[in-house]
Amino acid sequence: MELQRLGVKFFLHQSSQLELDDLVPVFHSWIQKKVVGDHILVDVHNYSHVPRGPGILLVAHEGNFSMDSGDGRLGLFYYRKQPLEGSLESRLGHIFETTLQAARLLEEESRLGQLHFKTDEFLLVANDRLKAPNTQEVFEQLKPGLSVFLRRLLDGDDFTLSRQEEPGERLTVQVSTGCSDDAEKLLARLS
């Protein structure tokens, strides 16, 4: 078994205006229209009353989507619950693709205010304290595979990786880049 429970978070750009509750009907319509590929969508849950929580949650069998503020900043968080096949890079590819597709859907959604997701900074979260405790060593081990993948995603743009060291928190890698491409462009590189 290898590390499977990985998550990705793309932050909302400051200029974005979002009433969290407005996402509820949007996520419901995703279920109605089955718009998320490879996912069995189950239900929507409104946690907007919980500070630093998952906000509005779309539960799927394979992984959950949420407009999350768990780390204090609002963003689209997707984390995988069911295992994927293949190498770390290909698993990352799958997870990023799913997240970016969801981000694109939200950016295009006319029922929401203009949303934009930042691509110059995002997070990779290892949601598994057994296999990936939040230590420097594990971070070092993760770096090579992650870097290979990021070079593809960012098409050669420079990036830096740093680990968030808050005690008790999951291993979280912050990726910072000079990338100014939007979610659509990044997505195109993954298909």
Partner 1 sequence: MRPPKPAGSLLRAFLLIAIFAADPGESEMSTWKDQLAGQIDPAWAEEIDVFETQIEQRRQGKLDEKIFAETRLRRGVYGQRYDNGQRHDGIRAQEISYPSGSLTKGPETAWDAPGMQRIKIPFGGVTPDQMDVLADLAEEYSDSVLHVTTRQDFQLHFVHIDDTPDLMRRLAAAEITTREACGNSVRNVTACPLAGVCRDEPFDVTPYAIAISRFLLGHPDAQDFGRKFKIAFSGCREHACGLVSMHDMGLIAVTKNENGQEKRGFECYVGGGLGAVPHQAKLFDSFLPEEELLPTAQAIARVFARLGEKDIRSRARIKFLVANLGIDEFRRLVLEEREILSEDERWTAYLSDVRDYNERTLREGKGVNPAARPEGFQEWYKTNVYHQRQDDYGVATITLPLGDLSAWQMRELAELARRFAGENVRTTVEQNFVLRWVSQSDLPDLYQELERVGLNEPGAGSILDITACPGTDTCKLGIASSLGLAGEIRTRLAGKFMEMDEAVRNLRIKISGCFNSCGQHHIADIGFYGTSRTFSSRKVPHFQLVLGGKWTENAGSYGLAMGSVPAKRIPEVLERITERYVKERAKGQSFQDFIRDIGKLELRDSLEDLMTVPAYEEDATFYSDWGDPREFTLGDMGIGECAGEVVSLVDFDLAAAERLVFEAQVKLDEEAYPEADELAYGAMLQSARALIKTEFLDVADDPDIVVEEFRKRFYDTEIFHNRFAGGKFADYLFRRHKSPPREHTRDHAHTLVEESQLFIEAAHACWERIAQHQVAAASASGSTAGPSVQ
Contact residues: partner 1, CB under 8 A: 1-3, 5, 24-25, 28, 31-32, 40, 42-43, 45-47, 49-54, 57, 59, 61, 64, 66, 68, 70-71, 81, 85-89, 127-134, 137-138, 141-142, 145, 167-170
| Residue 166 identity (one-letter amino acid) | E
Q: Rank residues 116 and 138 by Cβ distance to partner 1 and give the closer one.
A: 138
| Residue 45 or 116 having the CB closest to partner 1 | 45
Q: How far is the CB of 31 from partner 1 (least distance, A)?
A: 5
By beta-carbon proximity to partner 1, the closer residue of 50 and 188 is: 50
Task: Identify the three-state secondary structure at position 45.
Answer: strand
In DSSP notation, 58-99 reads EEESSEEEEEE-TTSS-EEEEEE-S---S-HHHHHHHHHHHH
- Contact of 143 with 97, CB cutoff 8 Å: no
Nearer to partner 1, 100 or 132 (CB): 132
d(CA 99, CA 133): 23
C-alpha span between 151 and 20 (Å, rounded): 33
Residue 168 beta carbon to partner 1: minimum distance, rounded to whole angstroms: 5
Answer yes or no: are the C-beta atoms of 138 and 132 closer than 8 Å.
yes
Based on CB atoms, which residue is closest to partner 1, 10 or 149? 149
Q: How far is the CB of 182 from partner 1 (least distance, A)?
A: 28
Beta strands in the chain (DSSP E): 6-12, 41-47, 55-60, 63-68, 75-80, 117-126, 159-163, 171-177
The residue type of 168 is G
State the minimum distance, in angstroms, from the CB of residue 180 to partner 1.
30
We find the least distance from the C-beta atom of residue 183 to partner 1, in angstroms, to be 24
Whichever of 58 and 179 has its CB closer to partner 1, that residue is: 58
Residues 6+ apart with CB under 8 A from 85: 91
What are 158's two structure tokens?
Answer: 């420079």
Q: To the nearest whole angstrom, how small is the minimum distance from the Cβ of residue 112 to partner 1?
A: 14
